[in-house]
Structure 1
């Protein structure tokens, strides 16, 4: 655990956001590895199929991050005010809600994946490969939602390093499994999807074990969850605007994908490759926002509004400077 209410605001925000940035960069490696390996070993048709499915996957990640954000903010606030009993209720409730929601989304996605592809005008030559990949990725929604719920809780307690270490290991494992399943076992796009899902499952398991060892009093015991409707209402009230924001961004990208799909396989493959650059470019600003969320919540819980205002100014300057530098490099 890390107390975000003590040290200098700029130093605290920077050091807290840095592991989040590294972690999210490795999160992008999941799909980047699929893109590079699929493109080289299976060709542009499979690359285009994986590229569209990534947009759906991105939407689901945005949904899970937005929903669990509310729980993370409440945990930060209770942690700042040293109310660990309420923090535990929020953690249990948020995890239970995310898990149940992921089961529903996974079931619906598996049933209607083919219809989704038809709605977005995916070329007929890509439908079979895209459908296989998307169905498997919907299975991966369950460990993804559960893992994101846990990592947001850890960040709420000021621990931004542990999720990063876990993501680094999982991303490297994903690359190894990609090559093994695609090249050695000849599983095609299904191999890429299975590699991603297994890596996500590992992330969740390791995170659970870590919390069991280091946060025994706050450990989420799935057999004895404390589900609190009032805490869920508070969490959703805070997290829903963040979720809507994330989802609208994702829907915007899916709208572009809808238009691009009409131009055929070559354009789909090109857009898939180029969009990875855009995803990396956006990371620093998004991560700074995540860090400020937990910084603000902890300091409000500790009744340190002065630090919130100072931290906001420092974060704004850092965000503008970093975004300007990245824009120049990309252009």
Structure 2
């Protein structure tokens, strides 16, 4: 197996970029993996099916962020163990993580089997799209176990500086999903249900083939089946690190679901338009999202190695490079949103609605270059509780109230509703800067040293 990346020595920018790029590529493919459903349905099915996939995808995303948030706890712990050169402890963390995510995925699946109609009704899915939405979510929920397996594998390898193995897994899933979408939706004309079936089967194929590849390559740390056990101490540590991330991501996702519910009341065209725009936003936000993951692993390794100053330098490099990418993505989102939207829809009214919503996100694309790097830095430091708090303030203190007020205005438009997101990001950046300068453990430690010198 290829040697993992040690991010605690040598130059910073080059290794950080080499580590980030495979994560970015994996996120591109993962976003494409989810977007293919909407793309194929948009070309071969009705606007009601487009609305169903758009709304249903938001529900599934909320479930996924619970898993990915907890998986961040695994990444942080393994990253710190790797930085401290305690590779012999990684196997126990992996074993406990497997047990935790297996139990979580089964619980979430059971909940969704009973509660999906309630959730879809709460989102005010348009009447003509209601049944399609329920079918899509129910079928996709059957694949939660595979979502958990993929994210568990990814968190393990990213913690050790290996971003290529997760990339292989998502490449397999993306290829399978494209082929199965074309089969079920374009050929068999199963609409939203066909897209959901393609999603589940491709997830299963990805996990199985990934495990075969890992078995063939071998692991870079000692591991045996005996280590797969409910180690209470390790599981509590994973939950302590990951639960704030999971809760923050979940509640932020709920805030976007609330916006979806607000928009759904404007009709099926607005619903489909925002659904298309949200899929495009998944691509637009890929670079800062990649930096969140890479920064978390980078900082965790350096904090584990006792090099906080190196971690801060990495944060600055991350912000600078992410912002450069953000300028490009913001330009296309603001000035060419209609052309981008044609990838997922052909109805002219839907295209106009999507382009209008994207203009608000174009502003946010510049801002999240800073926010997402801050979040990755604080996650790597283990300050996940603060990450949760600032996320909740942004989501429920700003994003939902502003979007609601915008929707009730006399001249309400999707652009005005979308402005709620950059408004939220500005407030979150202010909180993150304050915590970075005066509230983080590193700053407090530095202040303590200065006081000793004065004395």
For the criterion TM > 0.5, the same-fold answer is yes
Q: Secondary structure at the match of 1:239?
A: helix
Match of 1:215 in 2: 218
Match of 1:45 in 2: 48
Match of 2:268 in 1: 265
For residues 137 and 220 of structure 1, the distance between their equivalents in structure 2, rounded to whole angstroms, comes to 32
Q: Secondary structure at the match of 2:285?
A: helix
Picking from 188, 212, 235, the partner of 1:185 is 188
Indicate if the aligned counterparts of 1:77 and 1:298 stay in contact, CA closer than 8 A: yes
- Structure 1: segments with no counterpart, 5+ residues: none
For residues 193 and 52 of structure 2, the distance between their equivalents in structure 1, rounded to whole angstroms, comes to 11
User: CA 1:102 to 1:221, structure 2 compared with 1: closer, same or farther past 3 Å?
Assistant: farther
Indicate if the aligned counterparts of 1:95 and 1:150 stay in contact, CA closer than 8 A: no
Cα deviation 1:15-41 (Å, max 9, x = unaligned): 101010110011111221111111111
List, as ranges, runs of 4+ consecutive aligned residues in structure 1 with deviation greater than 3 Å.
Answer: 215-224
Q: Structure 1 residue 324: deviation in Å? A: 3.0
Indicate if the aligned counterparts of 2:70 and 2:239 stay in contact, CA closer than 8 A: yes
Identify which range, 132-141 or 205-214, moves more after superposition: 205-214
For residues 237 and 127 of structure 2, the distance between their equivalents in structure 1, rounded to whole angstroms, comes to 45
Map 1:141-160 onto structure 2 (within 5 A): 141-160=144-163
User: CA 1:261 to 1:235, structure 2 compared with 1: closer, same or farther past 3 Å?
Assistant: same
Match of 1:315 in 2: 318
Match of 1:130 in 2: 133
Larger Rg: 2
Give the total of aligned pairs: 331
Match of 1:251 in 2: 254
Identify which range, 48-57 or 162-171, moves more after superposition: 162-171
Scaled by the length of structure 2, what TM-score is found? 0.70
For residues 309 and 122 of structure 2, the distance between their equivalents in structure 1, rounded to whole angstroms, comes to 50
Higher RCO (CA 8 Å, separation ≥ 6 residues): 1
Over the residues paired in the alignment, what is the CA RMSD in angstroms? Answer: 1.8
Indicate if the aligned counterparts of 2:52 and 2:133 stay in contact, CA closer than 8 A: yes
Indicate if the aligned counterparts of 1:284 and 1:322 stay in contact, CA closer than 8 A: yes
Scaled by the length of structure 1, what TM-score is found? 0.94
Q: Secondary structure at the match of 2:202?
A: helix
Cα deviation 1:211-264 (Å, max 9, x = unaligned): 323334748766751332111122222112222332232112101111111122
For residues 17 and 153 of structure 1, the distance between their equivalents in structure 2, rounded to whole angstroms, comes to 16
- Structure 2: segments with no counterpart, 5+ residues: 335-455
